[in-house]
Structure 1
Amino acid sequence: MSWITEYVRPKIRGLLRRDVPDNLWTNCDSCSQMILTKELHRAMNVCPHCGHHMKASVPDRLAWTFDNGECTRIELPPAPVDPLGFRDQKKYTDRLKDARAKSHLDESLIVAHGTIGGHPSVVGVMAFEFMAGTMGAAFGERFVAAARLAVLQKSPLVIFTASGGARMQEGAISLMQMPRTTIGVQMLKEAGLPYIVVLTNPTTGGVTASFAMLGDVQIAEPNALIGFAGPRVIEDTVREKLPEGFQRSEYLLDHGMLDMVVKRKDMRETLARVIGLLMRTPVTPEGGKLEATPAATMPDAAPAAPAA
């Protein structure tokens, strides 16, 4: 080999090589366009080319939801780690350790409180990055704790859903969380407090079959997959071609399953407006609260009946 091959060529390659971070670019899940990761984060993980709403991490979701991104996470009650001693290809305990290491979270539901448009609020965010946001015994404990905190603070509870359903490693125990979370919703209703659900992509399985569809107001992000079973499973079962956009946010809105579909950039403002209406404490354009308006003097209140 000549000195050009052994010496000159490596030198030239070394001069031309630049250290490029692995996460500099991100591929859009929908249109496959390459997007600068920094630009994507500034756009709240919404593709600037096609408007597709990508998955969001728990810290990002909390930062986008609360005023100035400021909130306080609450300490949540512990739950049995491996109630069934389950094992498939790996031990369930090992899967939990891996999920915690990769996501930097301890479970699939994180709860925090702060203000949204000046309104004190309790927010629960499901972490799809933690075992696909599945629902187990720990999840049920956390959901009820969030409901109790909302009742204690006399605040609304907002839940962002993103889940593959019940956690198979906990068997029937995971299914028991469906009525358990329903009890948490009932606690809010008995206290006269708003329960708002924001459905994100995807929301499926036992989550959809329980607390995710019990909100006083049902909001969804655009084009989110929402359903119990997946479209392919349903198509194979009924042996019919499903309608275009079946189980997507816009389809469910057209068929009365949702109250509104809201873009991510408008979510905080929408939540603030909805909470203000339900709590009867609207917010001024400057962000300050107005006094609550008695129902009898509200513009849409029915006139008093004439005296007999």
Structure 2
Amino acid sequence: MNWISNYVRPKINSLFSRREVPENLWTKCPECGTMLFHRELADNLNVCTNCDHHMAISPRARFTALFDTGIFTEVKVPEPITDPLHFRDQKRYPERLKAAQKATGEKEAMLVAEGEIGRTPVVAAAQDFAFMAGSMGMYVGNALIAAAERAVKLKRPLIVFSAAGGARMQEGILSLMQMPRTTVAVQMVKDAGLPYIVVLTHPTTGGVTASYAMLGDVQIAEPNALICFAGPRVIEQTIREKLPEGFQRAEYLLDHGMLDRVTHRKQLRDELIVIIRMLMNQPPAVKGDLPPPGSPSSEAAEAKA
């Protein structure tokens, strides 16, 4: 037995040929099953390059692609009591919050920011469905109120991107109280004569749909987004009838007068520029003069580095 060729050489080769392959290099499209390379998917704003299915996108990546040159400033949100009801199911509520914070890298389910879109200053708020299903708790209520107050103070339009499974059960009645609180905040923006634009993304359900998500001066939705109060399965079980095809999807709601537009994510920035400049009585933007949006994939790469 030649121990140099049979043992030493293979050992050396294995050390130099070993490659660390990250597990998240590929994402499977839930609609068509295509395997998508993570950089290609990020460059396409988390939209499947094969079937155009709109996947979830984080608020930070969305804002990077939305604001001019990807630059925005976060708006501070007052922090509520962490666990007012001392709620516990299989885990304590604070443990669930810590797990969600670790998984998303965000403090809570809504991010509020200010910046310019097509050289027009705006305030924007976006929900993160990855954070406890984007559920509306006291922090989300505080975030929307902070966004509304900032918009009124600076006399800027307010744009909200909704994505939620409804109210946060761990906060009980305190979560439901955010519905009237956020409704009053929206009315404050409207009383100031400022545009309030809502972009409904998949999914927007429950108490969020029943409050600030359906109060926009302009209602826009991403393609095939589920928008409802109670889900289709619950309705079918209640009325014991088969629902129409596409029921409660964005295109169905557009056909029945519940929405103004259904817009592809890659066209959304240009459409918002046109709308906010029109509602703010500003002249149309000159296409070649507009600053470019940021690149979500490059921002993510810089953050990792």
Tell me the TM-score normalised to structure 1 length. 0.88
* Alpha-carbon distance in 1 for matches of 2:106, 2:24: 21
* Alpha-carbon distance in 2 for matches of 1:8, 1:35: 39
Partner of 2:277: 276
Q: Which amino acid counterpart does residue 284 of structure 1 have in structure 2? A: V
* Alpha-carbon distance in 2 for matches of 1:208, 1:144: 17
Partner of 1:158: 159
CA contact (8 A) 2:76 2:146 kept: no
Structure 2: 5+ residue stretches without partners: 291-305
Structure 1: 5+ residue stretches without partners: 289-308
- Residue 112 (1) aligns with residue 83 (2): no
Q: What are the Cα deviations for residues 234-259 of structure 1, in whole angstroms up to 9, with x where unaligned?
A: 11111111111111111110110100
Q: Secondary structure at the match of 1:227?
A: coil
Q: Which has the larger radius of gyration?
A: 1
Percent identity among equivalent residues? 58
Describe the shift of the 1:286–1:239 C-alpha distance in structure 2 as closer, same or farther (beyond 3 A).
Answer: same
Which structure has more relative contact order (CA 8 Å, sep 6+)? It is: 2
Q: What are the Cα deviations for residues 217-245 of structure 1, in whole angstroms up to 9, with x where unaligned?
A: 00000011110111111111111111111
Q: Which amino acid counterpart does residue 286 of structure 2 have in structure 1? A: T
CA contact (8 A) 1:204 1:226 kept: yes
Deviation at 1:85, TM superposition (A): 1.0
Partner of 1:83: 84
* Alpha-carbon distance in 2 for matches of 1:242, 1:10: 63
Partner of 1:221: 222
Q: 1:191-202 to 2 correspondence within 5 Å?
A: 191-202=192-203
Q: Secondary structure at the match of 2:177?
A: helix
Deviation at 1:16, TM superposition (A): 6.8
Partner of 2:209: 208
For structure 1, which segment, 133-142 or 15-24, has the greater mean C-alpha deviation from structure 2 after superposition?
15-24
* Alpha-carbon distance in 1 for matches of 2:142, 2:92: 23
* Alpha-carbon distance in 1 for matches of 2:93, 2:183: 26
Q: Which amino acid counterpart does residue 124 of structure 2 have in structure 1? A: V
Tell me the TM-score normalised to structure 2 length. 0.89
* Alpha-carbon distance in 1 for matches of 2:29, 2:13: 31
Cα RMSD after superposing both structures: 2.1
Q: What are the Cα deviations for residues 164-190 of structure 1, in whole angstroms up to 9, with x where unaligned?
A: 000000101100100000000100111
Deviation at 1:285, TM superposition (A): 2.7
- Residue 148 (1) aligns with residue 149 (2): yes
Partner of 1:171: 172
* Alpha-carbon distance in 2 for matches of 1:115, 1:191: 20
Q: Secondary structure at the match of 2:159?
A: strand
Q: Secondary structure at the match of 2:69?
A: helix
Paired residue total: 288
Deviation at 1:110, TM superposition (A): 0.8
Deviation at 1:129, TM superposition (A): 1.5
* Alpha-carbon distance in 1 for matches of 2:259, 2:275: 14
Partner of 1:189: 190
- Residue 285 (1) aligns with residue 287 (2): yes
* Alpha-carbon distance in 2 for matches of 1:60, 1:78: 23
CA contact (8 A) 2:75 2:146 kept: no
CA contact (8 A) 1:118 1:287 kept: no
Partner of 1:71: 72
- Residue 20 (1) aligns with residue 12 (2): no
CA contact (8 A) 1:53 1:222 kept: yes
Deviation at 1:17, TM superposition (A): 5.5
* Alpha-carbon distance in 2 for matches of 1:13, 1:89: 48
Partner of 1:60: 61
CA contact (8 A) 2:127 2:163 kept: yes
Q: What are the Cα deviations for residues 108-137 of structure 1, in whole angstroms up to 9, with x where unaligned?
A: 111000011111100001111111111011
Runs of 4 or more, structure 1, over 6 Å off, are none
* Alpha-carbon distance in 2 for matches of 1:34, 1:8: 39
CA contact (8 A) 1:156 1:195 kept: yes
* Alpha-carbon distance in 2 for matches of 1:176, 1:11: 64
* Alpha-carbon distance in 2 for matches of 1:278, 1:72: 23
CA contact (8 A) 1:225 1:248 kept: yes
* Alpha-carbon distance in 2 for matches of 1:253, 1:13: 61
For structure 1, which segment, 95-104 or 146-155, has the greater mean C-alpha deviation from structure 2 after superposition?
95-104
For structure 1, which segment, 11-20 or 51-60, has the greater mean C-alpha deviation from structure 2 after superposition?
11-20
Partner of 1:98: 99
Q: What are the Cα deviations for residues 53-75 of structure 1, in whole angstroms up to 9, with x where unaligned?
A: 00001211111111111100011
Q: Which amino acid counterpart does residue 247 of structure 2 have in structure 1? A: F
Partner of 1:133: 134
Partner of 2:247: 246
Q: What are the Cα deviations for residues 251-286 of structure 1, in whole angstroms up to 9, with x where unaligned?
A: 110110100011011111100000011101132334
Q: Secondary structure at the match of 1:53?
A: coil
